[in-house]
């Protein structure tokens, strides 16, 4: 996704350059070129904003897999299903349906 955005931005910059270099007194071409450059800039900004979001999503996905496989309540040892697990602001919260314990899950990095 990120590379695609950069490639697209590069194409937009090139296209805008063609319009601006070859505007030859036609103002519409100059404006189109500038609009293409602005779009390229917006794409780069969007692409730079993406990594943080992607990291959070990946973390949630990972913990989601772990939760579904073999997660047990650290107070009563009861197995926790998807209903007992909630994700808030990138952190995983456990609410045990057996003993009512509620706590935040500390993730161990697997990589």
CA distance 44 to 61: 26
- Contact status: 98 vs Zn ion (CB under 5 A): yes
Among 76, 79, 86, 107, binds Zn ion (CB under 5 A): 76
Q: Measured from the CB atom, is 9 or 94 closer to Zn ion?
A: 94
CA distance 95 to 77: 13
- Contact status: 75 vs Zn ion (CB under 5 A): yes
Which residues make Cβ contacts (< 8 Å) with residue 47, sequence separation at least 6?
1, 2, 5, 6, 9
- Contact status: 105 vs Zn ion (CB under 5 A): no
Residues in touch with Zn ion (CB under 5 A): 73, 75-76, 78, 96, 98-99, 101
């Amino acid at each position: 996704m990120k590379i695609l955005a950069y490639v697209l931005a590069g194409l937009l910059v090139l296209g805008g350059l063609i319009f601006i270099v070859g505007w030859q007194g036609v103002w519409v071409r100059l404006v189109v070129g500038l609009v293409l450059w602005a779009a390229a800039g917006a794409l780069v900004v969007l692409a730079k904003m993406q990594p943080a979001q992607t990291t959070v999503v990946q973390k949630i996905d990972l913990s989601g897999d772990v939760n579904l496989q073999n997660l047990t309540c650290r107070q009563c040892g009861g197995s926790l299903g998807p209903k007992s697990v909630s994700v808030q602001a990138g952190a995983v919260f456990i609410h045990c349906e057996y003993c009512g314990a509620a706590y935040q899950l500390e993730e161990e990095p697997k990589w």
